Amino acid sequence: MPREGILVPNPYVRITDEQVQQIHRASLQVLLDPGLICFSKKAAEIFHSHGAEVTTASSADHPHWHIKIPEKLVIEALDSAPKTVKLGARNPDNALIMRGDEPRVYFISGSETNIWLDVDFPAYVKKSDSSIEIQVPEFHPRRATVADLCQSAHVCEHLETLDGYIRTVNIQDEDITEDNKDVNKFFASLNNTTKHFMSGLTKLEQLDNVVRMAELIAGGKEALKENPIISFITCLVKSPLQFVEDTTDTFIEVCRRGLPTVVSSSPQAGTTAPIKEAGIMAQINAEVLAGITLGQMVNKGTPLLYGSVPVMARMDTLGDSYGSVETSQYNIDCVQMARFYKIPNYSTSGVCDTKIPGQQASIERLFSDIVVTLSGPQYLHCAYGLLDCNAVFCLLQAVLDDAHFQMIKFFLKTPRINQQELAETMKQIKEVVATPQKLYIRYIRQVMRSGEISAPYPFEGDGESDSVFALAYQRMNELLAKPVEHIDPDTTAKIFREIPGLLPRLNVYKEGK
| Residues near other proteins, by CB under 8 A | 436-439, 441-442, 444-446, 448-449
Q: Which is nearer to other proteins, 416 or 449 (CB)?
A: 449
Helices (H), 458-506: 468-481, 489-498
Q: Which is nearer to other proteins, 430 or 513 (CB)?
A: 430
Q: How far is the CB of 449 from other proteins (least distance, A)?
A: 8
DSSP characters for 46-86? Answer: HHHHTT-EEEE---SSS--EEEE--HHHHHHHHHHS-SEEE
Q: Which is nearer to other proteins, 415 or 436 (CB)?
A: 436
Q: How far is the CB of 160 from other proteins (least distance, A)?
A: 19
Q: Which is nearer to other proteins, 122 or 436 (CB)?
A: 436
Q: Looking at 123-255, which runs of residues are DSSP E strands?
A: 123-125, 133-135, 138-143, 164-166, 196-199, 230-234, 237-238, 242-243
Q: How many CB atoms lie within 10 A of CB 355?
A: 18
Helices (H), 271-312: 277-298
Q: How far is the CB of 133 from other proteins (least distance, A)?
A: 25
Q: In Å, how far are 17, 197, 354, 491, 504 from 512, measured between CA atoms? A: 62, 28, 41, 19, 12
Query: β-pairing, 138-143 with 115-120?
Result: antiparallel
DSSP characters for 6-49? Answer: EE-SS----S-HHHHHHHHHHHHHHHHTT-EEE--HHHHHHHHH
Name residues whose C-beta falls within 8 Å of residue 169's C-beta, 6 or more positions apart in sequence.
Answer: 112, 113, 114, 116, 144, 145, 148, 149, 152, 393
What is d(CA 87, CA 224) in angstroms, rounded to the nearest whole number? 10
Torsion (CA) 279, 284, 290, 293 in degrees, nearest 10: -120
Torsion (CA) 174, 510, 95, 296 in degrees, nearest 10: 50
What is d(CA 380, CA 98) in angstroms, rounded to the nearest whole number? 11
Burial (CB count within 10 angstroms: exposed 0-12, middle 13-18, buried 19+), residue 328: buried
Q: Which is nearer to other proteins, 133 or 424 (CB)?
A: 424
Q: Which is nearer to other proteins, 1 or 423 (CB)?
A: 423
Name residues whose C-beta falls within 8 Å of residue 503's C-beta, 6 or more positions apart in sequence.
Answer: 146, 173, 175, 176, 180, 184
What is d(CA 6, CA 94) in angstroms, rounded to the nearest whole number? 14
Q: Which is nearer to other proteins, 142 or 442 (CB)?
A: 442
Q: How far is the CB of 478 from other proteins (least distance, A)?
A: 16
Q: Which is nearer to other proteins, 127 or 449 (CB)?
A: 449
Q: Which is nearer to other proteins, 463 or 483 (CB)?
A: 463
Q: Which is nearer to other proteins, 21 or 428 (CB)?
A: 428
Q: How far is the CB of 416 from other proteins (least distance, A)?
A: 17
What is d(CA 173, CA 176) in angstroms, rounded to the nearest whole number? 5
Q: How far is the CB of 476 from other proteins (least distance, A)?
A: 22
Q: How many CB atoms lie within 10 A of CB 235?
A: 21
Q: How far is the CB of 475 from other proteins (least distance, A)?
A: 17
Q: How far is the CB of 437 from other proteins (least distance, A)?
A: 4
Q: How far is the CB of 450 from other proteins (least distance, A)?
A: 10
Q: Which is nearer to other proteins, 363 or 444 (CB)?
A: 444
Q: In Å, how far are 221, 427, 485 from 218, measured between CA atoms? A: 8, 54, 15
Q: How far is the CB of 436 from other proteins (least distance, A)?
A: 7
Q: How far is the CB of 448 from other proteins (least distance, A)?
A: 7
